[in-house]
Amino acid sequence: MIDPESRKFSILILFATIGLIFLARLFYIQVVDDSYVSSADNQALRYVTRYPSRGIIYDRHGDILVQNQAAFDLMVVPRQVDDIDTAAFCELLDIDRATFNKRLEEARSYSSYRASIFQKQLTADEYARVAENLYRFPGFYGQKRSLRIYPDSVAAHVLGYIGEVSARDLERDTLYRSGDFIGIGGLESQYEEILRGERGREVLMVDVHNTVQGKYREGELDLPAKAGINLISSLDLDLQHYGERLMQNKKGSVVAIEPKTGEVLCLISSPTYDPNQLVGVKRAKNYQALVANDSLDPLFNRALMAKYPPGSIFKLVQSLIGLSDGVIGINTGIACNKALVGCHNHPSARTIQEAIQMSCNPYFHQVFKRLINKGYTSNYFDDSALGLAEWNEKVTKFGLGQRLNLDLPSLKSGSVPSVALYDRIYGERRWAFSTIYSVSIGQGEVEVVPMQMANLAATIANRGYYIDPHLIKQLDGDNDSVLTFETHHTGIDPAHYEPVIEAMQWVVDKPGGTARRAKIEGIEVCGKTGTAENPHGEDHSVFIAFAPKENPQIAIAVYVENAGFGGTWAAPIASLLMERYIKGAVSDSLKEARILKANLLNVEKDED
């Protein structure tokens, strides 16, 4: 017979065990597995993400370059989608039944209880048509977002665009969630953390018909969104727009800088594209079309990424280093000996100014030889290596052969040949000046990007220094953040710049100068043409300049691919832009009409 006390004890243990099982299950449901809580909450509450307004970008005069436009994502809570008129819903969104099923299944695979995006970035007009019918379709609601718009459709390569975050973005920054947008390329990417703002949240009560009944607990759980910071750029919208017009039907780039500040006034890569093409639901389709169907590669930023031989503009650097090192003086004359290197017909230069004015190749062949072979040692090969190492260090101080501290991604560094490079190509000390003399006139292993060429013009305009080129000059309304820019000195005495600058004025103003088409009435323009060799076709037309000669306001580089002599196309384009910036208008309508009408995409021969 079972003892009553034992039976009583057994019953108590049984009840205690059952109680513990229920408590454990309740703990699992409420704490470990939140699907039941999510189900209950989502039946009564709607958690709406409040996306911040992205910062606006202005030009230097306060004109808007990029701003926001209202848009909406259509959200879905799959659990709440029950027995709707699918045909009517598909007609409302202009989608087919297969697309509807696919998107709903994707949403279910994410969560049946939590909202996810069903259709992205409906415009305000598109959503207005949908919103008035949503009461018929439980489980669907709109969430406000914004689209970027570009009022003047310019500066695509500067501004960049925004696109949906990638898996890599989500891993790198936990602030983002799937479906968020992030800056891609240009200023949108470079200043993403400043532009994006901070996400907010709103908790709403909804009834069984998916109709909002008001805020939950009077907004106690709401979090306000914080707008992104506006940026004031250095771009001049008028100059940018005008430059893009001048470069239509041409392949190349233009960069203009204000020398005294390093502010980039315009940055043009041609062919370009309308940045509005990469906005909203049509972005993916348009992007693929630009990549796959356009042989001119309009997405490629030539101003920052295209590497070219500098051609004869490099003679300015050779002149300054030669004067500084004392291997030549202002009145050094060198015969135009075409047996050394080819040259066009002109009198022999009697001074450094005449050599630059007439762009004499043999002259700079000999200048470079004197820089490389200084007689440090009797061994010709070792002497060349010692001279080149010294020369390389001085050239890089002009911002060449290195990445400038520009506030845009993807800028290339170009190349200035070094001892290590030639040892790798030819073998250690198996090369000398006679192997590398093409560098003397900006060919061979020297490569620059157009941004570096404009910066070189600014450096000469400043008589020996440059400030980090930059595109954002100010953060609007944020006094805690100050943008700072470093000043870089070439180490060459400002006195050596004066004869070079005088020669650059002769290039434009004097008979025999190679840039007569760059002349501007009433403004002293200092420039240098270049014709960069192109083994794949017509040579490239190159020109750098600054103006006025005293107290320069603008320094510029123009590079027109496959267009031949620098004075023919690059020089007049530069002069039109400089005059437009300084005077606000151009005076030579015939020059302007010639450039605007020119189609240089398939040039077969030079037309000087």
Q: pLDDT grade, residue 36 (50/70/90)?
A: very low
Question: So what's the pLDDT on residue 604?
Answer: 46
CB contact set of 602 (below 8 Å; sequence gap of 6+): none
Query: 424 and 514 in one domain?
Result: yes
Query: 403 and 523 in one domain?
Result: yes
Which burial class, exposed, middle or buried, applies to 258 when counting CB atoms under 10 A from its CB (0-12, 13-18, 19+)?
buried
537-540: Cβ within 8 A, 24+ apart: 537/562, 538/562, 538/563, 538/564, 538/603, 538/604, 538/605, 538/606, 539/564, 539/565, 539/606, 540/252, 540/308, 540/311
Q: What does the alpha-carbon distance between residue 363 and residue 356 come to, in Å, rounded to a whole number?
A: 9
Query: 331 and 188 in one domain?
Result: no
- The answer for 51, left when phi > 0, alpha when psi is -120 to 50, beta otherwise, is beta
Owning domain of residue 191: 143-198
pLDDT at 178 over 90: no
Query: 253 and 191 in one domain?
Result: no
Question: So what's the pLDDT on residue 428?
Answer: 94
CB contact set of 16 (below 8 Å; sequence gap of 6+): none
Do the domain assignments include residue 70? no
CA 74 to chain centre: 32
For residue 64, give both structure tokens: 């808007």
Asked which of 48-52, 90-94, 151-155 is least confident by mean pLDDT, the reply is: 48-52
CA 429 to chain centre: 40
pLDDT at 326 over 70: yes
Do the domain assignments include residue 264? yes
The percent of residues in the chain predicted with pLDDT above 90, rounded, is 62
Query: 384 and 255 in one domain?
Result: yes
pLDDT at 281 over 80: no
The percent of residues in the chain predicted with pLDDT above 70, rounded, is 89
Question: So what's the pLDDT on residue 39?
Answer: 46
Do the domain assignments include residue 508? yes
Domains of the chain: total: 2
Q: Max Cα separation, the chain?
A: 133
Query: 258 and 154 in one domain?
Result: no
Do the domain assignments include residue 209? no
Query: 255 and 164 in one domain?
Result: no
Do the domain assignments include residue 394? yes
Asked which of 34-48, 161-175, 299-313, 474-488 is least confident by mean pLDDT, the reply is: 34-48
Better pLDDT: 325 or 11? 325
Cβ 192 vs Cβ 182: under 8 Å:
yes
pLDDT in tens, 511-528: 878 898 999 999 999 999
Do the domain assignments include residue 259? yes
pLDDT at 231 over 70: yes
Asked which of 124-138, 325-339, 474-488 is least confident by mean pLDDT, the reply is: 474-488
Find the mean pLDDT for residues 244-262.
97
For residue 419, give both structure tokens: 């001892």
DSSP assignment string, 533-544? --TTSSPEEEEE
This prediction has a pTM of 0.85
Do the domain assignments include residue 215? no
Mean pLDDT for all residues in the chain: 88
- In angstroms, what CA-CA distances link 248 with 254, 331, 359, 544, 557? 12, 43, 29, 20, 17
Query: 329 and 184 in one domain?
Result: no
Query: 564 and 438 in one domain?
Result: yes
Asked which of 59-68, 323-332, 536-545 is least confident by mean pLDDT, the reply is: 536-545
Which CATH number fits the domain that encloses residue 176?
3.90.1310.10
Query: 190 and 319 in one domain?
Result: no
Domain boundary among 169, 198, 227: 198
Cβ 70 vs Cβ 144: under 8 Å:
yes
Do the domain assignments include residue 78? no
Query: 311 and 429 in one domain?
Result: yes
Query: 525 and 460 in one domain?
Result: yes
Q: pLDDT grade, residue 605 (50/70/90)?
A: very low
Which CATH number fits the domain that encloses residue 505?
3.40.710.10
Better pLDDT: 73 or 5? 73
Question: So what's the pLDDT on residue 217?
Answer: 80
Question: So what's the pLDDT on residue 293?
Answer: 63
